[in-house]
Amino acid sequence: MTHSLHTFENGAALATALAGRVAEALKAAIAASDAASLAVSGGSTPKAFFEALSLEDLDWSKVSVTLVDERFVPEDHPRSNHLLVATHLLKNKAAEAEFVPLYAPEDSIEAAAAVATDAVSDLGTPLDVVILGMGSDGHTASFFPGGDNLEDALDLELPPRVITMQASGAGEPRLTLSFSSLADAGLLILHIEGEEKQAVLEKALAGEDEAEMPIRAVLSRAETPVDIYWAP
Ligand SMILES: O=C1O[C@H](COP(=O)(O)O)[C@@H](O)[C@H](O)[C@H]1O
């Protein structure tokens, strides 16, 4: 699959441009079907983008926001992606958006994944906008090298769902949208910043082993061409 690389002078310029692009895609989805869905990633990279997006003028009451992946921790945990999104995105104009969490206070992570699968399926398919990040180990979403469910997570023949993932590089057990939930998004973005991530991207593009660098699955097999947003 093809991809396009968009480079910016700095993270602030990237955040402004990406927020505008995502806002236009959400407005188009609302115009077409009176609703829009947005799945975002966690980590340290998206904070400025979230802040810029929260100020975009659109009918946020018709937008459902969910996560590409989450740790199996409650929403007040400092490493919760829900907390990150609540702090940096679900405010200003975006305060009116509905949030669909992946975490649920179930006894097991498998039970939480089942609850989240039902909730995310209510958003319909395909998702309108998906924003992916990438770790320095080549993971994206919670598709970690060595992950216990990596093969299933990357299998496009399996139905869209929320899947559990444990890996030595992941810290807490994770909940992640499957690749089949992400691959056909209306707009599929990979947002990365810094020279280290640029080098990781170049390494990923130069090889084929998805178990070594799961981001390769997105770059080579996603149905939707990937728009890569990068700044130093
Ligand atoms: O573990 C995670 O890391 C990646 C990348 O995070 P960053 O801090 O390097 O930006 C992120 O995309 C993913 O959602 C998150 O759970």
Residues 6-28 have pLDDT tens digits of 999 999 999 999 999 999 999 99
Looking at the predicted structure, is the pLDDT value of residue 60 above 90?
yes
**pLDDT confidence of residue 95:** 98
CA-67 nearest atom, ligand 1: 14
Token look-up 């170049």 returns 202
pLDDT tier at 1, thresholds 50, 70, 90: low
| Probe residue for ligand 1, chosen from 65, 69, 73, 195 as the CB with the greatest number of ligand atoms within 8 Å | 69
Residues 84-132 have pLDDT tens digits of 999 999 999 999 999 999 999 999 999 999 999 999 999 999 999 999 9
| Probe residue for ligand 1, chosen from 68, 103, 134 as the CB with the greatest number of ligand atoms within 8 Å | 134
Using alpha carbons only, give the angle 198, 11, 145 rounded to the nearest 5 degrees: 40
Phi, psi of 40 (to 5 degrees): -120, 160
What value does the CA radius of gyration of the chain take, rounded to a whole number of Å?
16
**Separation of CA 134 and ligand 1 centre (Å):** 6
**Separation of CA 41 and ligand 1 centre (Å):** 7
Residues in contact with ligand 1 by the CB-under-6-Å rule are 41-45, 68-69, 81, 133-135, 142
Fold of 3-173+193-210: Rossmann fold (3.40.50)
**pLDDT confidence of residue 20:** 98
Question: One-letter amino acid identity for 200?
Answer: V
CA-133 nearest atom, ligand 1: 12
**Sign, Cα dihedral of 157, 162, 107, 77:** positive
Closest CA to 89 of 121, 42, 130, 123: 42
Question: Read out DSSP for 101-117?
Answer: -S----SSHHHHHHHHH
Closest CA to 106 of 88, 119, 94: 119
Of all protein residues, the one whose alpha carbon is nearest to atom 8 of ligand 1 is 43
Looking at the predicted structure, is the pLDDT value of residue 159 above 90?
yes
**pLDDT confidence of residue 134:** 98
Percent of the chain at pLDDT above 70? 100
Looking at the predicted structure, is the pLDDT value of residue 59 above 70?
yes
**pLDDT confidence of residue 2:** 79
What is the ipTM score, two decimals?
0.94
- Domain assignments of the chain as residue spans, ordered by start: 3-173+193-210
